[in-house]
Amino acid sequence: MTNITFIGAGSVVFATNLLTDIYSFERLQDSTITLMDIDPDRVERTAEVGEAVVDHHELPGEIRTTTDRREALEGADYVLNMINVGGEEPFENEIRIPEDYGVKQAVGDTLGPGGVFRALRTAPTVLDIARDMEELCPDALLLNYTNPMAMLCWAVDEATDVDVVGLCHSVQHTTEALARYLDVSSDDLEHWVAGINHMAWYLELEHDGEDCYPALREAASDPDIYEQDPVRFDVMDHFGAFITESSHHLSEYLPYFRTDDALIEELTPDEDFGHYTIEWMPTGRYLEHWRSYQPALEDEFEVTEDDVALDRSADYGSRIIHSIETDEPRRMNLNVRNDTDAIANLPDDACVEVPCLIDGRGVRSCSVGTLPPQLASLNRSNIAVQDRAVDAILERDETALRQAVKLDPLTAAALDLETIDEMIDDLLAANAEYLPDLY
């Protein structure tokens, strides 16, 4: 029997997807899944779905709930972290205050002023979870889903002895997008991807043993395809490789795309492409999207047939647990510390996203070697921000915080140094109740 703990299980849709993924494996169907959240009403909603899954399929597993984090962690084998610290108010401040100064973030949860301040308010709780794990389940693996991925995993690696890996969906989603552009099945694409979270590079992309890059460049010359992913196609054209994450996210990690309203408008198509509508480039669009899917507790809630179906998603979490428990080998891209020199020309202590082998021995990163220098340089521009932000978190160092934001490529392209300090002053004041004291 495997003991799996979800921290932040009040995120009903995400948590239940992970839960059904786990129970979709016969070997994991006797697992005890403990759902923990500070909001008892939300966690009970997740539990209602989980119990319906267990009952419907007559599984030997068990669903438990608690609002006590230490109780949830006691004896866990795996801890899945999906917390959101602070909720809507600080998130809105992290978008709108920089926007007032001219820093126009699309999402603001990974880099930039939004990402740095999100890390500052989220990391203390994540570190508390890790320190509780050191005491209560020291051999457990921490699977982190919370953004900013690289900064949080880096801080846990630096400050605790907990084994942590970061999980993202960008490689899976990007591979599906590439398959559409190439008009092939995503199952038939072979890839070798490495870099950092939300900025990892398709170093190799093949179909039936053939290099896909010539066909991808030809596809990008079709305006109907190009306008579905303009930023990523431009970066590929200028730097030589396609990148994970979407055009809207990528646009805010670089200095080239979000300092001019006309360019933002140009890169914001509103055409319905059949399978989805692109609405992402406007500043703060993700904030509005995030608000739209937060369930209201007063709404009617009923478990449906779809909710209890054991359809396995593309998420890596259940597969990691299954591979470790059964010794079935798998390879997938995960976020891990670079201290094995997985990427030789990125810093050893950075959090990198690289192919990893998972089996009964755990998670082991593959050796990628050296990235092409132009790709490593773009990665290092983001790692520099992460490095200073982690120092700000661990040392409670306001100078490091200010330097992290000043090193951000988009912020530096939009503002002078004195104005950046003014923006940081406003962010510190607006979100003071959500932030640790800085010395």
For residues 233 and 239, the answer to whether their CB atoms sit within 8 Å is: no
Q: Any idea how long the chain is?
A: 439
Tens of pLDDT, residue by residue over 59-107, are 999 999 999 999 999 999 999 999 999 988 999 999 999 999 999 998 9
- As given in the structure block, the two tokens for residue 320 are 């990691």
What's the pLDDT at 279?
A: 45
What's the pLDDT at 269?
A: 54
Helix (H, G, I), strand (E, B) or coil at 33: strand
Could you tell me the pTM of the whole model?
Answer: 0.93
Which residue out of 169, 207, 248, 289 is catalytically annotated?
A: 169
C-beta neighbour count of 135 within 10 angstroms: 10
Examine the residue annotation and report whether 238 is marked as an active-site residue of this protein.
Answer: no
Question: Among 167, 182, 210, where does a domain finish?
Answer: 167
Residue 303 has pLDDT above 80, yes or no: no
The span from the CA of 47 to the CA of 176, in Å, is 31
Tens of pLDDT, residue by residue over 361-411, are 999 999 999 999 999 999 999 999 999 999 999 999 999 999 999 999 999
Residue 122 has pLDDT above 80, yes or no: yes
61 and 206, same domain (yes or no): no
Q: Rounded to a whole number, what is the distance in angstroms from the first to the last CA of the chain? A: 46
- Give the confidence band of 275 by pLDDT, cuts at 50, 70, 90: very low
Q: Which domain holds residue 60?
A: 3-90+107-167
82 and 101, same domain (yes or no): no
Tell whether 145 is covered by a domain: yes
For residues 329 and 354, the answer to whether their CB atoms sit within 8 Å is: no
Residue 278 has pLDDT above 90, yes or no: no
The span from the CA of 376 to the CA of 42, in Å, is 42
Mean of the per-residue pLDDT values of the chain: 91
160 and 191, same domain (yes or no): no
Helix (H, G, I), strand (E, B) or coil at 195: strand
Tell whether 52 is covered by a domain: yes
Residue 327 contacts by C-beta under 8 Å, 6 or more apart in sequence? Answer: 359, 360
Tell whether 54 is covered by a domain: yes
> What average pLDDT does this structure show over 157-172?
96
316 and 391, same domain (yes or no): yes
- Give the confidence band of 276 by pLDDT, cuts at 50, 70, 90: very low
314 and 373, same domain (yes or no): yes
Q: What is the DSSP letter of 119?
A: H
What's the pLDDT at 422?
A: 98
Provide φ and ψ at 73, rounded to 5°.
-85, -20
348 and 385, same domain (yes or no): yes
Q: Structural domain tally of the chain?
A: 2
130 and 180, same domain (yes or no): no
Using alpha carbons only, give the angle 151, 157, 160 rounded to the nearest 5 degrees: 125
> What average pLDDT does this structure show over 54-62?
94
What CATH code is carried by the domain that includes residue 382?
Answer: 3.90.110.10
156 and 260, same domain (yes or no): no
What's the pLDDT at 13?
A: 81
